[in-house]
């Protein structure tokens, strides 16, 4: 049976295929067409059963017909694919409505009675852009919120078909289809006041007009006009591309629209031309006389700019939104008046009206603030609700916070914990005493000592008779953790094993057997830990390093190896506060914000190609003092498309031509595990002085003797990744250097690299990285967990996010299940599923 979450998945697949250009995308298992064919190959239970409210046979036939049509999808041309997907999306929506029983809106204001004074929000002066106030008559005639667009008189079936290409099927869809930008034509000036770069509206008289075919291009028609007001004159042109505009009949008809002496309103961007100031391809509207109301949806207004697709023009969307605007009267605000008053929020219906057709910039800002608040608020509400429900789960794994084994571990440590490390250890040990499973994230900069903190938690688990698992994303990092644990646990007489994809079959079977009997208390590994044959006897603690590199299902699968084990996740990628609240809002977060004593700042320098010899001189001096060097490149091998140095090519060049007197090693992701281990071991044992590598050394390679990190084509890396790479040096007592080699002269690229020259603080670097590249790219390839907001920006709207978090916390304190806030509960379900695609983040 296809249930509600699968409807969402089906609609999402159709939406993504449309957004990606109808290319029959390849998914993890199936192509788009195969997935749809399989989906429609099975009748949902609602069509298999006998229900009076659904005409069964016609829907069964249509369902099976779609299976055949999507089987033929790869053979269809572009237009036929577009048509099929548009029809399917409409049909799925209709079927959902039928299954829902046509319930529509329920509950009215029920459940929104929080006893606080009613807020007086700024009222919209433009609800329908063609009339300042929605009249009582228009309210009565207003379309319903869930009415189909094809049924709205001003839109109709033909226009509704085009709007469906944008995923817009109902009045609600249209109202919540926010503009991606606005252009302010509301400023009306005289011709003498025009300033280049401004968008303005002028009202003036037509002094001359001509319309003709360009002598240089027979398919281009030019309309030239000269306007005059009491302060001066202006000349501008409008351009029409296409053979149909070249006919004299069409050109004469345009001239008749704007005869000399006509009063005209014109708006556009002011530019400088050889004739002086002009308007760039302006919008025009004829006025009967000066002072007449301007009826246009663009002229004299703050104009909404919508995301469009092929065959859907801007004015179609604007006019459709205008037709839907009276329906804002039916919108019920899910936020209680007391909450709106506390956070100074505009009422929802006014915010929707003003985000589309704001009368001025102040109204636009107030409406945007309310709608951004909503996006953040419902996300935080969902995260906090999940956090509270997680705390209702019980675990049998209750650990003693102290004991002989923990005391012995502290004694064998060759250093004392920093204050920050001890604070985080206390947080963890406090969690481990409770019968609620721990779900804590440790954030810490490169080299801040997260691993030893996690190991104390592992020791606490073993001391209490439980097993622990530590999972890392790469074999290099897993090997690094294994070596550290072995060096400590041998002194405690505790066995520890490593399980990766490279582990031999005999050894693998031995590990499996020891896990099941409980003889093996600690297992370190990669994704191999989540394979079916891995069964723990009594798993009480799961530690996941660089957790953002694992998928949701992978992390969950490891947790399922035990009965509600405690979970400790770690990341050496510092995350800005706003991003952390968004993707880790349901976790308890501890931060190690202090480096161990004795660590020197790494001298970071951005260098151009002309300064390469200086870099080589520094490398020779460091090697002469017994130090070692990393050289990192973005590519493994040469690329025909990209003019970049490759690791293989650079290794050969450095060994043969630049440093023939030294041993130069090579490390990259395409090497076998055995070859990788050999390369790292040789470097660790000082058999090679220089290690040429790709970003596989970003985490996990710990060689305190390395003092120089040279990164080629540094402009091609994100700041956070460069900071991670820089963290591979400076791990010993000697002064270390990071050389950022760049061939780019772009001011933006140079500005980014200067951030690293000026700061060693990973949290500051990640904040700047997010500002330069956006949150999705900071975590890599729009990492799962970054919410896809419509209006909100994690860079620009931090203040609103913090307020939304506070508001969500207060609501959860009062009513965790939102039983008394029915409208809010319904809105949360709708928005949270849409925002996160139904995915669990952490």
What is the per-residue pLDDT for 804?
A: 93
Task: Give the range among 219-228, 642-651, 722-731 with minimum mean pLDDT.
Answer: 642-651
pLDDT for 468:
93
The larger pLDDT score, comparing residue 643 to residue 258, is at 258
For residue 318, give every residue at least 6 positions away whose Cβ sits within 8 Å of its Cβ, in sequence order, or none: 297, 298, 303, 304, 306
Q: What is the reported pTM?
A: 0.61
Tell which residue, 672, 724, 667, has the closest CA to residue 690: 667
- Give 296's pLDDT tier (boundaries 50, 70, 90): low
Is the predicted pLDDT of residue 392 greater than 60, yes or no?
A: yes
User: Binning pLDDT at 50, 70 and 90, where does residue 496 land?
Assistant: very high
Q: How far is CA 745 from CA 52, 456, 685, in A?
A: 70, 48, 39
Interval 715-725: pLDDT, tens: 888 888 888 88
- Cβ-based neighbour number of residue 563 at 10 Å: 15
Write down all domains in the chain, each with its CATH number in brackets.
Answer: 4-100 (no CATH), 187-300 (2.40.50.140), 404-592 (3.40.50.300), 603-759 (3.40.50.300)
Write out the DSSP string of 570-629: EESS---HHHHHHHSTTSEEEEE--PPTTPPPPEEEEEEGGGHHHHHHHHHHHHHTT-EE
- Range picked from 298-302, 423-427, 739-743 for highest mean pLDDT: 423-427
Average pLDDT of 355-382?
A: 91
| Cβ contact 337:118 at 8 Å | yes
In this prediction, residue 105 has a pLDDT band, given cuts at 50, 70 and 90, of very low
**Predicted local confidence at residue 787, as pLDDT:** 55
The SS3 call for residue 311 is: coil
Specify the higher pLDDT residue, 504 or 600. Answer: 504
| β-bridge mates for residue 226, sequence order | 208, 235
Q: What is the pLDDT of residue 773?
A: 66
Whether the per-residue pLDDT at 631 is higher than 90: the answer is yes
Q: Say whether pLDDT at 629 is over 90.
A: yes
Q: In this structure, how many other beta carbons lie within 10 angstroms of the beta carbon of residue 365?
A: 12
Span 488-495, mean pLDDT?
92
Q: What is the mean pLDDT of residues 375-398?
A: 84
For residue 839, pLDDT beyond 50: no
Supply the pLDDT for residue 129.
39
Highest mean pLDDT range out of 368-372, 548-552, 562-566?
A: 368-372
Give pLDDT, residue 102: 43
Where is average pLDDT lowest: 85-99, 177-191, 437-451?
85-99
pLDDT band at 648 (very low <50, low <70, confident <90, very high): confident
Q: Over 80: is that where the pLDDT of 513 sits?
A: yes
For the chain, give the percent of residues with pLDDT over 90.
29
Q: Which residues are 820's β-sheet partners?
A: none
Instruction: Select the highest-mean-pLDDT range: 256-260, 351-355, 531-535, 826-830.
Output: 351-355
Distance (Å, rounded) from C-alpha 349 to C-alpha 127?
9
**Would you say 368 and 178 are in contact if contact means Cβ atoms under 8 Å apart?**
no
Contact by Cβ (8 Å): 327, 143? yes
Q: 326-340, 571-585, 663-677: which range is least confident on average?
A: 571-585
Tell me the pLDDT band of 781, cut-offs 50, 70 and 90.
very low
pLDDT recorded at residue 720: 80
State the sign of the Cα–Cα–Cα–Cα dihedral 157, 162, 168, 171.
negative
pLDDT reported for residue 213: 92
Distances (CA, A) of 162 to 158, 165, 624, 652: 7, 6, 71, 58
- C-alpha 41/C-alpha 37 separation (Å) is 6
Radius of gyration of the chain (CA): 32
% of the chain beyond a pLDDT of 70: 81
Confidence of residue 371 (pLDDT cuts 50, 70, 90): very high
Q: What is the mean pLDDT of the chain?
A: 80
Closest CA to 14 of 231, 239, 165, 197: 165
pLDDT tens-digit series, residues 45-57: 666 555 444 455 6
Q: What are 501's two structure tokens?
A: 């994809």
The number of residues making up the chain comes to 842
CB 188 within 8 A of CB 204: no
Residue of 569, 515, 514 lying closest to 539 (CA atoms): 515
Which residue, among 310, 306, 331, 332, has the nearest Cα to 319 in the 3D structure?
Answer: 306
Q: Which residues contact 707 (CB under 8 A, 6 or more apart)?
A: 622, 627, 628, 629, 729, 730, 732, 734, 735, 736, 737
Cβ contact 104:146 at 8 Å: yes
């Amino acid at each position: 049976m296809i249930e509600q979450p699968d409807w969402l998945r089906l609609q999402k697949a159709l939406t993504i295929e449309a957004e990606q250009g109808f290319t029959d995308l390849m998914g993890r298992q199936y192509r788009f067409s195969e997935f749809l064919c399989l989906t429609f190959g099975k009748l949902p239970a609602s069509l298999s059963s006998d229900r009076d409210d659904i005409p069964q046979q016609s829907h069964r036939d249509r369902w099976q017909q779609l299976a055949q049509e999507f089987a033929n999808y790869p053979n269809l041309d572009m237009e036929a694919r577009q048509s099929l997907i548009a029809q399917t999306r409409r049909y799925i929506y209709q079927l959902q409505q039928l299954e829902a029983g046509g319930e529509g809106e329920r509950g009215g204001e029920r459940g929104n009675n929080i006893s606080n004074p009613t807020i007086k929000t700024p009222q919209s002066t433009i609800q329908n852009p063609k009339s300042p106030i929605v009249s009582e008559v228009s309210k009565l005639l207003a379309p319903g919120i869930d009415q189909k667009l094809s049924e709205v008189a001003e839109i109709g079936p033909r226009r509704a078909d085009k709007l469906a290409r944008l995923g817009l099927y109902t009045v609600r869809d249209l109202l919540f289809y926010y503009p991606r930008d606005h252009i302010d034509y509301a400023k009306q000036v005289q011709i003498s006041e025009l300033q280049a770069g401004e968008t303005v509206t002028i009202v003036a008289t037509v002094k001359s007009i001509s319309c003709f075919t360009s002598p240089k291009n027979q398919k281009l028609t030019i309309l030239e006009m000269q306007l005059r007001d009491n302060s001066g004159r202006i000349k501008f042109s409008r351009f029409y591309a296409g053979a149909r505009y070249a006919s004299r009949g069409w050109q004469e008809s345009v001239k008749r629209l704007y005869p000399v002496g006509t009063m005209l309103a014109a708006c556009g961007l002011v530019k400088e031309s050889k004739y002086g100031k002009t308007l760039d391809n302006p919008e025009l509207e004829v006025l009967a006389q000066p002072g007449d109301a301007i009826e246009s949806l663009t002229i004299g207004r703050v104009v909404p700019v919508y995301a469009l697709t092929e065959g859907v023009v801007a004015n179609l969307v604007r006019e459709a939104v205008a037709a839907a605007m009276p329906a804002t009267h039916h919108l019920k605000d899910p936020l209680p008046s007391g909450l709106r008053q506390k956070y100074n929020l505009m009422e929802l219906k006014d915010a929707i009206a003003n985000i589309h057709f704001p009368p001025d910039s102040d109204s636009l800002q107030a409406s945007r603030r309310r709608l951004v608040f909503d996006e953040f608020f419902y996300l935080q509400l969902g995260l906090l609700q999940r956090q509270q429900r997680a705390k209702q789960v019980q675990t049998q794994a209750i650990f003693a916070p102290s004991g002989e084994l923990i005391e012995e571990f502290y004694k064998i440590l060759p250093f004392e914990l920093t204050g920050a490390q001890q604070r985080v250890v206390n947080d963890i040990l406090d969690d481990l005493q409770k019968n609620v499973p721990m779900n804590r994230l440790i954030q810490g900069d490169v080299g801040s000592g997260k691993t030893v903190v996690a190991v104390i938690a592992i020791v606490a688990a073993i001391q209490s008779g439980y097993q622990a698992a530590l999972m890392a994303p790469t074999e290099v990092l897993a090997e690094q953790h294994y070596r550290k644990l072995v060096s400590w646990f041998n002194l405690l007489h505790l066995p520890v094993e490593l399980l990766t994809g490279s582990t031999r079959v005999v050894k693998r079977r031995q590990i499996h057997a020891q896990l099941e009997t409980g003889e093996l208390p600690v297992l370190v590994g990669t994704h191999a830990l989540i394979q079916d044959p891995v069964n723990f006897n009594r798993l009480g603690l799961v530690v996941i390093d660089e957790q953002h590199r694992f998928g949701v299902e992978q992390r969950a699968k490891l947790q399922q190896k035990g009965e509600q084990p405690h979970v400790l996740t770690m990341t050496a990628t510092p995350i800005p506060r706003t991003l952390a609240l968004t993707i880790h809002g349901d976790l308890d977060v501890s931060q190690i914000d202090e480096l161990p004593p004795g660590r020197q700042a790494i001298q970071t320098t951005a260098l151009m190609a002309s300064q390469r010899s200086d870099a080589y001189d520094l490398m020779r001096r460091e090697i002469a003092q017994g130090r070692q060097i990393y050289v990192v490149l973005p590519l493994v091998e040469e690329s025909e498309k990209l003019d970049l140095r490759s690791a293989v090519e650079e290794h050969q060049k450095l060994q043969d031509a630049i440093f023939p007197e030294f041993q130069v090693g090579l490390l990259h992701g395409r090497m076998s595990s055995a070859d990788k281990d050999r390369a790292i071991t040789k470097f660790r044992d000082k058999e090679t002085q220089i290690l040429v590598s790709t970003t596989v050394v970003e985490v996990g390679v710990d060689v305190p003797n390395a003092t120089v990190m040279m990164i080629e084509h540094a402009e091609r890396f994100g700041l956070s990744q460069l900071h991670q790479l820089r963290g591979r040096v400076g791990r010993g007592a000697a002064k270390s250097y990071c050389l950022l080699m760049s061939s780019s002269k772009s001011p933006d690229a140079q500005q980014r690299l200067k951030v690293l020259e000026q700061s060693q603080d990973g949290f500051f670097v990640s904040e700047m990285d997010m500002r330069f590249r956006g949150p999705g790219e900071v975590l890599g390839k729009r990492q799962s967990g970054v919410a896809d907001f419509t209006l909100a920006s994690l860079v620009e709207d931090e203040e609103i996010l913090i307020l939304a978090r506070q508001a969500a916390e207060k609501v959860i304190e009062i009513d965790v299940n939102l039983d008394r806030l029915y409208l809010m509960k319904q809105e949360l379900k709708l928005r949270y599923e849409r925002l996160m695609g139904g995915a669990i983040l952490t």
